[in-house]
Amino acid sequence: MNWFRKQLQTQRTRFILLVTLFAVMLALPAFASEYILYMLISILFITLFSLGTNLLLGYTGLLSFGQAAFFGVGAFAAARILLAYPSMPLAILGGMAASALAALVIGLIVVRHTAIYFTMLTLAFGMLFYEGVQKAELLLSYITGVEIPEATVFGGAWGLLDIPRGTIFNLAMDSLVNYYYFTFVIAGIAIFLFYRLVHSPLGLSFQAIRDSESRVAFTGISVRKHRLICFVIAGVFAGLAGAIRTGLLGNVDPLVFHWSTSATPIISSLLGGMYTFTGPIVGAAIYYVIRDFVFRYTFVWQMAVGLVIVALVLGLSGGIVGNFEQKLLPKLRTRFTRDNSQKAGNTIF
Amino acid sequence: MADLLYQALIGFTQGMIYWLIAAGLTIAFGVLGILNFTHGSLYMFGSYLALTFYQSLGMNFGLAVFLAIASVGGIGFLLERFALRPIYARNLEIQIILLFGIMLIFSDTALLGWGTNLSFPPIPPLLGGTIEIVGRKFPIYYTFLIGAGIAVFFIIRGILEKTWWGRTMRAAASDREMASAIGINIRTLFATSFVFASAIAAFGGALSMPWRICQPSLGTDVIIPAFVVVAVGSLGSLVGALAAAILIGVVTALGTFYVPIMEVIAIYLIMTIVLIIRPQGLFGGRGKA
């Protein structure tokens, strides 16, 4: 109880909000429809995807337009594992390992560049995966010399279908409720680890690289090595998100590698605020809702997304969480508390 | 051997199209320092507008191309004035994301304006027909494209080196603050250079109109190869862009001749190899990357 009391005293608003959110999400399957659960699982994996991408964008100052590559690698690796041996934890781990490897290889080439070059190259490598996966069998045949029939390993243009959700040890994941709890736990752990990461010396050195590359170099930190570490971590988060997606949808097609997939976490981060911790999480939820809504009413979804981006950049820069913290919150504070000693800039989120 | 030469010529033509897209991208990057995601969309507008003027309104091909360039130049002017000018001082990442958003808007604008139908544009009769090269029939239009691509290179070089405007562009590209300090109006220069870059994109789009299928995803389809071309040739170098465009075009065509899968993979393969050996690109100085 002491721990609870201490938390309540030091970071009250934040703690109460967090516990409430936790309780609501745990209790939700009791009364929510499958549609809501489906939506929440989707938001959770977009959240993980966005957090990873924002580690590059918001924390290290690198805009990657190729995160779909690692998202897709995670998704396809998980699919292959589930088809061979239906164990969900194995699929998640396999997906993460595969995308870590992919991120390491691509990272070695791209982290030598920054700024515009980095963006262009990540975009190009992402599209290499998109093109490559559709011809993967042909490519493998050329490399290995062994004849592999087309569309047998990765399913060609159609991708892989009818992927079972498998089991976790002995618990079947067929029901969406079980899968929801599983995703909830995994995402919770991942978000917690991410929180610890960005507040660790490693995370701080990422932010230092963003703010001044040359100063960081002068302190003896290898900028390139740190960028590579950051790139691999971002890739692992993308792979984890991709693996969860495979479990949810039961199919995976080459479109997961498309640049429009890479744009999702970028827009989520921008929407929520890329210089805040909760920004990408809030952004992922809002982005999902907006996209769901737009898809239902219009076929020109690209225009809707584009307009949101333009409005955010030219109007609401800093994102929703960023603006809330910097503008709305200080006002609320001065209005609702007698003690005005806590000034703006002291963020609760 | 004749087959190879023929393949190489086809690849050279493709390279010229790459070059026509990469040229404007290079200028926009060199002078304004932006990664213009909308460049492919401007190219697409050039194609579609030329198609509309030529096919639907029955204009002369030359006039249609000219009008397409003028219209896209106008779009470029508005884009610079209302979207780019407010964000020059912002982070690079934000600039790129904004341009990406505008690219999405442009894509769907084309979808609304011209529909999802694929258009198979006609070749103007004057440039139709084929000529005999190495015992095979080679479309006259392709030779026209090659000529136009090379002409554009020399025109841009001429403008940059011989005219006052071109010299101010080079000055701003090498040191923006210094250029501003000696009395060059940077704002006007940015506007005119961006319009110039847009016009080149439109020219490329209009000319390649009879050469490819017009579809609303054209803008997003061409921008990625264009990025690869400027990255391989090193960003901001015109000669580099031209050389990389030809290299990628020809190697892709020859590779496809032997291994069909090269058609989609070659461009990325070249990019990977070049960037491992020379991270700064083929024509970049040391440490420029």
The residue from A265, A297, A321 where one domain ends is A265
Rounded to 5°, angle at Cα A49 from A99 and A156? 55
Residues of B in contact with A109 (CB under 8 A): 272, 275-276
Which range, of A254-258, A344-348, B120-124, averages the lowest pLDDT?
Answer: A344-348
Q: Across the interface, do A124 and B264 touch by the CB < 8 Å criterion?
A: no
Establish if A142 belongs to a structural domain. yes
Dist CA B136 CA B1 (whole Å): 12
Whether A103 and A124 map to the same domain: the answer is yes
Across the interface, whether the CB atoms of B97 and A119 are under 8 A apart is answered no
CA distance B157 to B169: 12
What distance in Å separates residue B234's CA from the closest CA in chain A?
9
Cβ within 8 Å, pair A124-B83: no
Token pair, residue B202, equals 């439109």
| Judgement on whether residues A44 and A188 belong to the same structural domain of the protein | yes
User: Could you give the count of Cα atoms lying within 13 Å of B276 in the half-sphere of its Cβ?
Assistant: 9
Q: Is residue A336 part of a domain?
A: no
In a domain, A276, yes or no: no
A78 and A210 inside one domain:
yes
**Which segments of chain B does DSSP mark as H helices, in order?**
2-27, 39-51, 61-79, 92-114, 140-162, 164-174, 176-181, 186-208, 218-232, 238-258, 262-277
Comparing C-alpha atoms, which of B248, B281, B286, B17 is closest to residue B149? B17
A304 in a domain, yes or no? no
Which of B106, B224, B231 shows the shortest C-beta gap to A127?
A: B224
Q: B227 to chain A: nearest residue by CA?
A: A120
Residues B46 and B72: beta-carbon distance below 8 Å: yes
A112 contact residues in B (CB cutoff 8 A): 275, 279, 289
pLDDT of residue A20: 86
Q: Per the domain annotation, does A138 fall within a domain?
A: yes
Chain A touched by B128 (CB under 8 Å):
no
Least confident of A179-188, A197-206, B57-66: B57-66
Does A50 lie in the same domain as A8? no
- d(CA B150, CA B148) in angstroms, rounded, equals 5
Mean pLDDT of A187-199: 90
Looking at residue A228, its pLDDT comes to 92
Whether the complex's predicted ipTM surpasses the cut of 0.90: no
Q: Is the pLDDT of residue B28 over 90?
A: no
Residues 24-83 on A with a CB inside 8 Å of B are 57, 61, 63, 65
Verify that A24 and A36 share a domain, yes or no.
Answer: no
Let me know whether A69 and A11 are in one domain: no
CA A90 to CA A243: how far, in whole Å?
10
In chain A, the number of structural domains is 2
Q: Which whole number is the average pLDDT over B156-162?
A: 87
CA nearest to B29 within chain A: A116
For residues A313 and B87, the answer to whether their CB atoms sit within 8 Å is yes
pLDDT band at A232 (very low <50, low <70, confident <90, very high): very high
Domain that holds residue A16: 1-29
Provide the pLDDT for residue A265. 92
State the pTM of this model: 0.83
Chain B hits for A128, CB-CB cut-off 8 Å, are: 265, 268
Mean of the pLDDT values across residues A303-317? Answer: 82
Name every residue whose Cβ is closer than 8 Å to that of residue A327 and which is 6 or more positions away in sequence: none
pLDDT tens per residue across span A15-40: 788 888 888 888 888 787 888 888 89
CB of A4 within 8 Å of a chain B CB? The answer is no
In a domain, A330, yes or no: no
Distance CA B98, CA B43 (A): 18
- Does A5 share its domain with A141? no
Residue among A61, A125, A259 whose CB faces B93 most closely: A61
Last residue of a domain, one of A247, A265, A283: A265
Residues A147 and A232 in one domain: yes
Comparing A7-16, A191-200, A205-214, B137-146, the range with the smallest average pLDDT is A7-16
Which range among A295-299, B192-196, B199-203 shows the weakest confidence by mean pLDDT? A295-299
Instruction: Return the pLDDT at A231.
Output: 93
Per-residue confidence band for A74, with pLDDT thresholds at 50, 70 and 90: very high
Q: What is the mean pLDDT of residues B9-27?
A: 89
**A15 plus A162 within the same structural domain:** no
Please indicate if any CB of chain B lies within 8 Å of the CB of A127: yes
CA-nearest of A251, A134, A212, A269 to B263 is A134
Burial A214-226 (b: 16+ CB within 10 A, else e): eebeeeeeebeeb
Distance from CA of A306 to the nearest CA of B (A): 4
Q: How many CB atoms lie within 10 A of CB B1?
A: 6
Residue A144 vs residue A51, higher pLDDT:
A51
B80 DSSP 8-state letter: I
CB-CB neighbors (< 8 A) of B101 in chain A: 305-310, 313
Sequential DSSP letters for B202-267: HHHHHHHGGGS-B-TTHHHHHHHHHHHHHHHT-TT-HHHHHHHHHHHHHHHHHHHHH-TTHHHHHH
From B62's Cα to the closest Cα of chain A, the distance in A is 32
C-alpha pair distances (Å), A306 with each of A105, A263, B46, B103, B115: 32, 11, 21, 7, 19
Q: Of A215, A235, A265, which closes a domain? A: A265
**pLDDT tens-digit series, residues A243-292:** 999 988 888 888 888 888 888 899 888 888 888 888 888 889 988 988 88
DSSP state letter for B85: G
Does B118 reach chain A within 8 Å, measured CB to CB?
no
Mutate to test the interface with B, among A67, A112, A123 (most CBs of B within 10 A): A123
Return the pLDDT at A340. 46
- Taking the CA of residue A99 and the nearest CA in chain B, the distance in Å comes to 19
Residues A261 and A209 in one domain: yes
**Mean local confidence (pLDDT), A60-76:** 91
More confident residue, A64 or B284: A64
Quick one: A242 and A127 in the same domain?
yes
Judged against a pLDDT cut of 70, whether residue A349 lies above it is answered with no
CA nearest A264: which of A98, A111, A49, A73?
A49
pLDDT reading at A242 higher than 70: yes
CA distance B24 to chain A (A): 16
- Residue B223 binned pLDDT confidence (cut-offs 50, 70, 90): confident
Q: Which residue has the higher pLDDT, A100 or B210?
A: A100
Question: Could you give the CA distance from residue A29 to residue A19 in angstroms, rounded to a whole number?
Answer: 17
Q: Which residues of A touch B105 (CB under 8 A)?
A: 302-303, 306-307, 310
Q: From the CB of residue A207, how many other CB atoms can be counted at a distance below 10 Å?
A: 15
Tell if the CB–CB gap between A63 and B100 is shorter than 8 Å. no
To probe the interface with B, which of A313, A314, A317 has the most B CB atoms within 10 Å? Answer: A313
Does A294 map to a domain? no
- Please tell me the predicted confidence (pLDDT) of residue A336: 62
Does the beta carbon of A307 lie under 8 angstroms from any beta carbon of chain B? yes
Q: Report, as an integer, the average pLDDT of A189-198.
A: 90
pLDDT at residue A112 greater than cutoff 70: yes
B262 near A CB under 8 A: no
Average pLDDT of span B115-123:
73
Quick one: pLDDT at residue B289?
34
Q: Is residue B287 predicted with pLDDT exceeding 50?
A: no
Q: Name the residue with higher pLDDT: A258 or A155.
A: A258
Listed residue (A50, A79, A53) closest to A288, CA to CA: A50
**Do A78 and A108 fall into the same domain?**
yes
Q: Looking at per-residue confidence, does B222 or B126 come out higher?
A: B222
Strands A167-168 and A171-172, sheet pairing? antiparallel
> Quick check: B286 pLDDT over 60?
no
Q: How much of chain A exceeds pLDDT 70, in percent?
A: 91
> How high does pLDDT run on average in chain B?
83
Query: In chain A, what percentage of residues exceed pLDDT 90?
Result: 19
**Is A212 within 8 Å of chain B by CB?**
no
CA-CA distance, A23 to A70, in Å (whole number)? 32
For chain B, percent of residues with pLDDT exceeding 70: 98
Q: For residue A198, report the phi and psi dihedrals to the nearest 5 degrees.
A: -70, -15
| Mean pLDDT for chain A overall | 83
Separation between Cα atoms, residue B257 and residue B238, nearest integer Å: 29
The beta-carbon neighbor of B231 closest among A120, A131, A302 is A120
In a domain? residue A90: yes
